[in-house]
Structure 1
């Protein structure tokens, strides 16, 4: 399945980059994230900003977010640019969590933590991409507002990004499947994957919506995230705005 092609282009929409729909269009995910990662490692948010009108006005991501009735523009919308650096931000949250637990910066235990999605290759990256895309779709459904018509339009928008028949069938399964945080958590291939699943879900949801916030809390519990680590992940999302 060409899941990374689809995910790359959705992330480009989030970062305000143009998306043409072909496998070679736009910027490569690794290039996008390299820029974002440099900004955050340097402690600065950068100057690119996010084209909010482009972000919420169309495309697969815009439709997923557009299903949230009453979502506000402005600072809340700006956080979606964090999608372009989900692996970098999830890893940074883990670093901060470890530093706080130890009382300051120290060598961090990384054994069996897994790698950020941007560092993976081949089948490992495709598998992580499926986990991330599944988390995005479930978060978009968490408020119960994707109706049959919206689902059809969203499917058409994703089709424009070039999914194959296998990926198309998988996407349809995600729309039909029950919202199951435990199942989503079981698909995580590493602790880093768990952090990325939570972080991308936190980006997608509206904290002011009780149903969506309840989904995120349920997911944190299913992923077995420590409360402080979940707070660090939430902080990375908010600081990206």
Structure 2
């Protein structure tokens, strides 16, 4: 399945533009996020949130089709562009604050999405895309017409037949946080699943907030880790 091709385009929508190659510009993304993750400031160091349009498949999945105000949520969308980096930074911060807490060895944490290659990256991409779709469905408001529109937007991204069928299955599958969590292939994958879900949900919607809390429990993320992941979203998208 060409999942990373589709996911890369969604990530580019989060950044408000497309690269010439149509893929994820890892070097530019790393440079963009680098000083923020180190606590620095400066011109060109952050994501240009003013350019975030929330359009296309991303805007549909994140709920703009239901008339939500884009403003504050648009600030969160940019976090999708560096989901692996942000999740890893959250882990580092959490580890520093919880030195006495037993944690899996570094080698067992798993690599960030942006560092994976080949099949490993494709598998992680499926996990991320599945989390995004489930979060988009969390408030139960995707009706038949909205699903058709969303399907059209996703088709514009060029999924192959196998991926297209898989995406349709995700719309029909039960919202099951435990099933989603079982697909996580590492602690890093769990953090990435949570962070993209946190980007997707509306904190003011009780059903969506409840979904995020269920997911944290299913992923075995304690309150401190979940809070750190959500904090990284705010750091990455700070204007």
TM-score in terms of structure 1 length:
0.89
Mapping of residues 217-228 of structure 1, within 5 Å:
217-228=213-224
Please point out which of 223, 230, 234 is paired with 2:226. 230
Please point out which of 147, 150, 156 is paired with 2:146. 150
Moved over 6 A (4+): none
Matched, 1:38 2:48: no
Partner Cα separation in structure 1 for residue 170 and residue 33 of structure 2: 30
Per the TM alignment, residue 109 of structure 1 is displaced from its structure 2 partner at its CA by 4.4
Per the TM alignment, residue 75 of structure 1 is displaced from its structure 2 partner at its CA by 3.0
In structure 2, the gaps of 5 or more residues are none
Match for residue 186 of structure 1?
182
Match for residue 71 of structure 2?
74
Across the aligned residues of Structure 1 and Structure 2, the Cα RMSD in angstroms comes to: 2.0
TM-score in terms of structure 2 length:
0.90
Match for residue 12 of structure 1?
12
Matched, 1:100 2:97: yes
Partner Cα separation in structure 2 for residue 237 and residue 41 of structure 1: 11
Partner Cα separation in structure 1 for residue 33 and residue 106 of structure 2: 18
In the comparison of the two structures, how many residue pairs are matched?
231
Match for residue 90 of structure 1?
87
Mapping of residues 14-29 of structure 1, within 5 Å:
14-18=14-18, 24-25=21-22, 27-29=23-25
In structure 1, the gaps of 5 or more residues are none
Distance 1:3 1:32, change over 3 A: farther
Distance 1:31 1:148, change over 3 A: farther
Partner Cα separation in structure 2 for residue 131 and residue 151 of structure 1: 20
